[in-house]
Amino acid sequence: MKDMKKAKMVDFDTEYAPKSSNPVGKVIVTIILILWTVINIFPIYFIFTFSLKSNDEIFGNNIAGLPRNWIWSNYTRALGTGNMGLYFLNSILVTGAAILISLIAALMATYAITRIKWRASKLANAFFMLGLTIPLQASIVPVFFVLKELHWLNKYSTLIIPYSAFALAMAILICTGFMVEIPYDLDEAARIDGCGLWRTFYQIILPLMKPAYATVGIYSYLQCWNEFMFANVFISDSAHRTLPIGIQQLSGSYTTDWGPIGAALVIATFPTLIFYISLSRRIQESFIAGAVKG
Amino acid sequence: MAGQVKDINSSKQRRKKNIILGFNIFLFLLPALFLFVSILIAPIVMNVFWSFHDWNGMTKDMTFIGLKNYQKLFSNSVTLNFKVALKNSLILALFSVFVQLPMALGLALILGRKPKGERFFLTVFFMPVLISTVVIGQMWLKIYNPDYGLLNSFLKLIKLETWTHIWVSDPKTALGSIVVPTIWQYVGYHMLLMYAGVKGVSPDLREAAMLDGATPSQVDRYVVIPIIKPIIRVSVIFAVTGSLKAYDLVYILTGGGPQKRTEVPSTLLQEQLFLANKYGMGSAISVMLIVLCFACALLITAAFREKDN
C-alpha cells in the first residue's frame, strides 16, 4: 500500500536535471529515443495508410508509402459488410457494463474491508487479492461448461460477468488505496449524527471516492476492451461479437482484400489512442497506481 | 443484582448488534463474493476435480483416472506436446526478462534524466500497450506476409533476398516472429512502472551522489536501481506469468503451428476442449497453469529477498 501512495504522488515535474553529461552520450541517448519513437509510431502510421489503399497499391510497390488514392470506402465497407459498427457498440456495451459492475462490487467490498472493524477483514482482503495472480485460463473450462449447460453462451452477459469478476481484484486494490486515505473521523461523525452503515457509504464515502472511479475505469477498460480469449471461446454468433473477435473474423473472410481489414484495425484502435493522448497523464498515473502494489 | 441484569441485557444487546453488523458486512461483500466465487474460486475447484477424470464434457460418465492426465502431459505425445508448449513459454519468458525488461529499464532511466521531450516520449512509448493484441497480431501478419509483407519487401529492397522467409510458417522463424511483437508491445508497460519508480527517487539523493563525484550512470547503477528493486520484482513477475499465460498473439500469428512447434499451454488447452473434447485434460492444463503462475510468483519474490540478504 505504501508503494501505491508513493506512486499516486508521482511528480512529473521534479526540478531535477543533471548538469554534467558528455555530448557523445547525449547524442546516443537522443538516437535511442528517436529510434524507439519511430518503432512505436510507424505501426500506427502503417495501419492508417493501408486502411486507405486498394489491393493494387498494397500488393504493388506502395506498401509503406502514403496512399496515392485515398479510398475512404474501405471504412464504409468495414462498417457495413464487415459489421464493425455493431462490434464496436457491443464492445462499448460489454466493457461499460463490466466496469460498472466491478466498480460497484469493489466499492462495497472495500468499504466493508477498510471501514468496518471486524476480525477477518484482513483475511477477506487477502482472499480477494488472490485474484491478481489467478490466470484467466483457470476458469475457462468450467465456466464454458456451465454456461453451455445453462444455454448461456452468446449473450452479452456471457462476457460481462466473467470480465467483471476478473477486473474485481484490481478494482478492490485501487479502491483500498483511495479509501484508506479518507479520514476515519468522518465515519465517526456520521455515526454520531445517526447515520447507518449504508447511508455513510453512499452519502459520505462514495462522493469522496470519485477520483478512484476514473482509475478503476481506465484499468478495467483496457482489460475488457482488448480481451480476446473468453470472447473467442464463449461467443460464436456474430450478433454478440466484440471488436477483437470481429477483427479476427473479418481478417479470415476478407483475406484477399486488405483495405477494409486495415479500416477495421483503425476503427478498433484510434478511439482508444485519441482518448489516451488527450488524457495521457491521467491514464499513466492510473496504470502506475494499479500495477505498483508493493 | 440490578447491575448483573443490566450486564446480561447489554451483552444480549451487543450480541444482537454484532449479528446485525455481521449481516451488514456480508451484504456489503455479497456482490464481490458472488463474482469471485462463481467465476474464480468454484472453477478452480472444479478444474482440480475434473483433472483427475477422463471426461468428454458431454455425457454423464466420468471415469476417475487419478494422475493419468498429468502423467500424459509430461509423456512424449505427438498430439499433445505439453513439454514443447512449456519450453516455448519458457523461451518467451527468458526473452521477456532478459531483453524486454532491460530495454524498459534503460528507457525508464533515460527518461528519468529529464531529456527534452520527456512527456512526449513517455506518451509514445506507452502507446502499444493500449492497442488490442488482435490488432497487433493482424498488423504483424501483414508485416510478415511472405509475398506482400513489409519485412520481405524491405529485405528485397536492401538486396538481402536470401534473408527473406515465410516467417510465421517457417519452423525456424515461427517462434521468433511471435517473440518480437510480444516484446515490442509490453516494453512500454514495464517502462512506465519503472519510470514511476525512477521519478520517486528523491532529487536530494541524486544530488548528494553527484556531489560525491558519481557520474549519471553511476547514480543510476548504485542509487536508482537499488531503490526501484521492488518495482523490478513486480515487472519480472508480470513478465514470467504473462509468458505462461500467452495466448492471443500465438493464436493469431501461428495458431500453434507449423507442425505444433509454437504451441503454448493456452493454445493446447483450447485444442483439448474444442477439437478433442477432452475436458479432463483441459482441466489438467488449467491446473498446471495456475500452479506454475503461483509458483513462479513465489519463487521470484523469494529470489529477490535472497539477493537482498
Domain-embedded: residue A139: yes
The total number of structural domains in chain A stands at 1
Give the angle subtended at the CA of A179 by the CAs of A177 and A185, to the nearest 5°.
135
Domain-embedded: residue A144: yes
pLDDT by 10s per residue, chain A, length 294: 344 444 444 444 444 444 445 778 888 889 999 999 999 999 889 889 888 988 877 777 777 778 888 888 889 888 888 889 999 999 999 999 999 999 999 999 999 999 998 888 999 999 999 888 888 888 898 999 889 888 888 999 999 999 999 999 999 998 998 898 899 999 889 989 888 899 999 899 999 998 889 889 888 888 899 899 999 989 988 899 999 999 988 887 766 778 888 899 999 899 889 988 988 888 888 777 766 543
Chain A with chain B: Cβ pairs closer than 8 A: 279
DSSP letter at A238 equals G
Per DSSP, the three-state class of B54 is strand
Pick among A9, A102, A137, A241 to test the B interface (most B CBs inside 10 A): A137
CA A69 to chain centre: 35
- Chain A residues with CB under 8 Å of B190 CB are none
Domain-embedded: residue A177: yes
Residues 10-49 of B with CB under 8 A from A: 21-22, 24-25, 28-33, 35-36, 38-40, 42-44, 46-47
Cβ contact B216–A273 (<8 Å): no
Residue A123: how many CB atoms within 10 A of its CB?
Answer: 10
Cβ contact B290–A138 (<8 Å): yes
- CATH at residue A180: 1.10.3720.10
pLDDT value of position B66: 85
Task: Output the DSSP codes for A10-60.
Answer: --TT---------HHHHHHHHHHHHHHHHHHHHHHHHHHHHTT--HHHHHT
pLDDT value of position B87: 94
Residues 163-202 of A with CB under 8 A from B: 164-166, 168-169, 172, 197-198, 201
pLDDT in tens, B113-137: 888 889 999 999 999 988 989 999 9
Question: Is the CB of residue A268 less than 8 Å away from at least one CB of chain B?
Answer: yes
**CA A147 – CA A226 distance, rounded (Å):** 22
pLDDT value of position A293: 44
pLDDT in tens, B264-274: 999 999 888 88
Cβ contact A141–B33 (<8 Å): no
pLDDT value of position A21: 57
Q: What is the domain extent for residue A258?
A: 2-13+83-291
Per CATH, which fold does B80-308 belong to? MetI-like fold (1.10.3720)
Closest-CA distance of chain B to residue A32, Å: 9
Domain-embedded: residue A278: yes
Closest-CA distance of chain A to residue B88, Å: 17
Closest by CA to B94, choosing from B168, B176, B189, B167, is B176
Consecutive H or E run containing A91 = helix A84-115
Domain-embedded: residue A71: no
**Please, which pLDDT band fits residue B161 given cuts at 50, 70 and 90?**
confident
| ipTM for the whole predicted complex goes beyond 0.95 | no
Residues 108-167 of A with CB under 8 A from B: 108-109, 111-113, 116, 118, 124, 127-128, 130-131, 133-145, 161-162, 164-166
Domain-embedded: residue A34: no
- Chain B residues with CB under 8 Å of A243 CB are 132, 134
- Chain A residues with CB under 8 Å of B30 CB are 108
pLDDT value of position B103: 96
pLDDT in tens, B191-249: 998 998 898 888 888 888 888 888 888 888 888 999 899 889 989 999 999 999 999 99
Question: Is the CB of residue B160 less than 8 Å away from at least one CB of chain A?
Answer: no
**CA A189 – CA B301 distance, rounded (Å):** 42
Domain-embedded: residue A271: yes
What spatial distance separates the first Cα and last Cα of chain B, rounded to whole Å?
62
Domain-embedded: residue A20: no
